[in-house]
């Protein structure tokens, strides 16, 4: 049944891509492309959104999963970015996706041999918290810090700065933007790669899209390239001489057991600019990230042993080695930041968004932050407002699908841990996820006995959320893979629900 619904959905999307003439084609269903498509569709445009892989399978599921102002950008002097990011953090947590974006205190430990003096940090935190409109901006003593983070290394600790930001589930935040675009009438489809652009009188008028073994000619008046780390590859389809517009930096994260009794995350200063994080995330500790130049094929980015060693060593500045054994690593992932061209190390490169317009009129947009995705998408739309014939764009935040419709009504009684998890991941749509479990209680079975994700989520992912592979379900629709629980049993359970099984 799930397989049938998914196949029908794909066939309808394919038919729509081939038949309709679109106002806007968005290339890339990461968070930027998905939000661009959602805002454009809500503005009444005919929109198509295609992704070569799964939605969110690029950078948008490989971040530090923080919705934050970015304390270290203050150190780089980027007050505007921090102010904007805080503004967006508030909008996401209050209106756009309150189920997915949760406030979290952060402790920044100040060790005697560390790069910062407490007085200097306190003035920075005060500015940061003023921009955040938050009152959480104290220096706290080691005993108070230890109550927030019980494993915090105390030797040599002078004090800790305390401030507030938020954490999220990046893959699901991205997906909800795709679903918002779809709800607003956009044609969306994953595993649909733009392989060439349609040029009419030298102007880009859509693209050839490889989809399910065929190539579909998609007509569109305007094309936006939001291909993230692949931005230059897509620019190259418009103009083979377009060269390089960005540079890439690899960031790796690992998840280790721990953090379930923490009531704050840790921001660990590594030098006078770089910090790393230890964030309690679904009962584990999310540690990272690295920041190293990358100039290979973005699809080949991977986690190397040196990356893991670096992350564990750096976390060891504030945490005991017992938490940080290489054999404790449950899961890891690598992603690519897209940064403006420039000299110097990637850690000091500004996290600016890079916009460019090619000779055929295609707008490319890449870089920036997950936190500011809405603003980046709206800015991209502003830039193509003329060719699209759009009037003023409504920049107000709108609730994503899971933030619409109030408290979910659940047709079945759930284990409290599972219920809380579903309310967090799906918000008001949690009721839809478990609807069928009233008739088929097997859907309430956990995908892995040690995690709260259940079979009903896998069915919902396939039927209603464009999941087409085991990895789509276990890594991006649910939290099984990142909890380190994607074992044979979990894989086999999901395989049975997939199209073609
Ligand atoms: C290590 C790391 C940590 C980060 N941490 C944070 C954080 O904590 N908070 C924060 O705010 N930001 C963070 N960021 C930044 C944030 O993750 C990115 O800014 C954001 O995810 C970029 O989204 P995107 O849509 O531009 O790119 P992507 O998510 O990479 O999307 C691009 C999409 O384009 C598709 N595509 C490529 N080529 C084609 C083609 N030919 N046809 C169709 N589709 C194509 C790809 O499949 C991909 O899905 C982090 C980034 C990294 C790398």
| 66 vs 353: CA distance, rounded Å | 18
What is the band of 125 on the pLDDT scale with cuts at 50, 70, 90?
confident
| 492 vs 445: CA distance, rounded Å | 13
Q: Which of 97-101, 151-155, 328-332, 404-408 has the lowest mean pLDDT?
A: 404-408
State whether the beta carbon of 490 lies less than 6 angstroms from ligand 1: no
Residue 349 pLDDT > 80: no
Which residue lies with its CA nearest to atom 27 of ligand 1? 228
- Atom of ligand 1 at shortest range from CA of 192: 43
What is the band of 116 on the pLDDT scale with cuts at 50, 70, 90?
confident
State whether the beta carbon of 399 lies less than 6 angstroms from ligand 1: no
Instruction: Provide, rounded to the nearest whole percent, the portion of the chain with pLDDT above 70.
Output: 97
pTM, full prediction: 0.96
What is the band of 134 on the pLDDT scale with cuts at 50, 70, 90?
confident
Which residue lies with its CA nearest to atom 10 of ligand 1? 370
What is the band of 219 on the pLDDT scale with cuts at 50, 70, 90?
very high
State whether the beta carbon of 228 lies less than 6 angstroms from ligand 1: yes
- Atom of ligand 1 at shortest range from CA of 288: 1
Which H helix or E strand runs over 17?
helix 2-19
Instruction: Provide, rounded to the nearest whole percent, the portion of the chain with pLDDT above 90.
Output: 84
Residue 214 pLDDT > 60: yes
State whether the beta carbon of 66 lies less than 6 angstroms from ligand 1: yes
Categorise residue 341: left if φ over 0, alpha if ψ from -120 to 50, beta otherwise.
beta
- Atom of ligand 1 at shortest range from CA of 229: 30
Domains of the chain: 2-59+171-244+351-388 (3.50.50.60), 103-166+247-338 (3.30.9.10), 405-497 (1.10.8)
State whether the beta carbon of 70 lies less than 6 angstroms from ligand 1: no
Tens of pLDDT, residues 276-296: 999 999 999 999 999 999 999
Tens of pLDDT, residues 435-445: 999 999 999 99
State whether the beta carbon of 289 lies less than 6 angstroms from ligand 1: yes
State whether the beta carbon of 298 lies less than 6 angstroms from ligand 1: no
DSSP collapsed to 3 states, 309-373: HHHHHHHCCCCCHHHCCHHHCCEEEEEEEEEECCCCCHHHCCCCEEEEECCCCCEEEEECCCCCH
The mean pLDDT value for 2-18 works out to 88
State whether the beta carbon of 64 lies less than 6 angstroms from ligand 1: yes
Span from the CA of 169 to the centroid of ligand 1 (angstroms): 14
125: three-class secondary structure by DSSP: helix
- Atom of ligand 1 at shortest range from CA of 58: 30
Residue 1 pLDDT > 60: no
Tens of pLDDT, residues 176-200: 999 999 999 999 999 999 999 999 9
Span from the CA of 231 to the centroid of ligand 1 (angstroms): 10
Average pLDDT of the chain, as a whole number = 94
Span from the CA of 31 to the centroid of ligand 1 (angstroms): 7
- Atom of ligand 1 at shortest range from CA of 334: 1
Span from the CA of 171 to the centroid of ligand 1 (angstroms): 10
Residue 40 pLDDT > 60: yes
CA angle at 335 for the pair 64 and 280, rounded to the nearest 5°: 20
| Model pLDDT, residue 74 | 75
| 125 vs 132: CA distance, rounded Å | 10
- Atom of ligand 1 at shortest range from CA of 228: 27
Return the best residue to mutate from 227, 279, 340 for the ligand 1 pocket (most ligand atoms within 8 A of CB): 227
Count of residues making up the chain: 501
| Model pLDDT, residue 71 | 77
Return the best residue to mutate from 39, 58, 354 for the ligand 1 pocket (most ligand atoms within 8 A of CB): 58
- Atom of ligand 1 at shortest range from CA of 335: 53
Tens of pLDDT, residues 135-176: 777 789 999 999 999 999 999 999 999 999 999 999 999 999
Structure tokens at 141: 């003593």
State whether the beta carbon of 51 lies less than 6 angstroms from ligand 1: yes
State whether the beta carbon of 380 lies less than 6 angstroms from ligand 1: no
The mean pLDDT value for 115-120 works out to 77
Tens of pLDDT, residues 316-327: 999 999 999 999
């Amino acid at each position: 049944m799930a397989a049938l619904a998914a196949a029908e959905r794909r066939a309808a999307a394919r038919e729509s891509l081939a038949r309709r003439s679109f106002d806007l084609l968005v290339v890339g269903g990461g968070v930027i492309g998905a939000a661009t498509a959602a805002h454009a569709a809500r503005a009444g445009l005919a929109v198509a959104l295609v992704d070569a892989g799964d939605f969110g399978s690029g950078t948008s599921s490989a971040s530090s999963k923080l919705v934050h102002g970015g304390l270290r950008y203050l150190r780089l002097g980027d007050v505007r970015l921090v102010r904007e990011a805080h503004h967006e953090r508030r909008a996401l947590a209050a209106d756009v996706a309150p189920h997915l974006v949760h406030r979290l205190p952060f402790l920044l430990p100040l060790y005697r041999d560390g790069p910062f003096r407490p007085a200097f940090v306190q003035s920075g935190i005060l500015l940061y918290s003023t921009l955040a409109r938050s009152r959480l901006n104290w220096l706290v003593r080691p005993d108070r810090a230890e109550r927030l983070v019980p494993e915090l290394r105390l030797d040599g600790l002078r004090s800790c700065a305390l401030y507030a930001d938020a954490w999220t589930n990046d893959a699901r935040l991205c997906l909800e933007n795709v679903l918002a675009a779809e709800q607003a009438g956009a044609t969306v489809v994953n595993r649909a790669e733009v392989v060439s652009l349609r040029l009419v009188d030298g102007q880009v008028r859509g693209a050839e899209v490889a989809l399910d073994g065929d190539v579909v000619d998609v007509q569109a008046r305007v094309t936006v390239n939001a291909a993230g780390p692949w931005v230059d590859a897509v620019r190259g389809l418009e103009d083979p001489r377009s060269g390089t517009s960005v540079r890439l930096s690899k960031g790796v994260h690992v998840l280790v057991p721990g953090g379930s009794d923490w009531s704050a995350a840790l921001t660990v200063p590594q030098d006078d600019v770089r910090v790393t994080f230890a964030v309690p995330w679904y009962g584990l500790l999310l540690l990272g990230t690295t920041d190293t130049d990358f100039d290979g094929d973005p699809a080949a980015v991977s986690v190397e042993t040196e990356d893991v060693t670096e992350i564990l060593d750096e976390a060891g500045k504030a945490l005991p080695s017992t938490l940080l054994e290489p054999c404790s690593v449950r899961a890891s992932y690598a992603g690519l930041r897209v940064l403006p061209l420039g000299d110097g190390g990637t850690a000091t490169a500004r996290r600016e968004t890079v916009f460019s317009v090619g000779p055929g009129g295609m707008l490319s947009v890449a870089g920036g932050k997950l936190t500011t995705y809405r603003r980046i998408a709206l800015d991209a739309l502003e830039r193509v407002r003329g060719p699209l014939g759009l009037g003023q764009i409504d920049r107000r935040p709108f609730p994503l699908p899971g933030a619409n419709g109030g408290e979910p009504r659940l047709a079945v009684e759930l284990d409290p841990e599972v219920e809380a998890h579903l309310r967090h991941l799906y918000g008001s749509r949690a009721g839809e996820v478990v609807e069928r479990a009233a008739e088929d209680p097997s859907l309430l079975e956990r995908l892995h006995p040690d995690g709260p994700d259940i079979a009903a989520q896998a069915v919902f992912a396939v039927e209603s959320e464009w999941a087409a592979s085991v990895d789509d379900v276990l890594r991006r629709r649910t939290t099984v893979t990142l909890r380190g629980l994607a074992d044979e049993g979990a894989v086999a359970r999901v395989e049975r629900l997939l199209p073609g099984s």
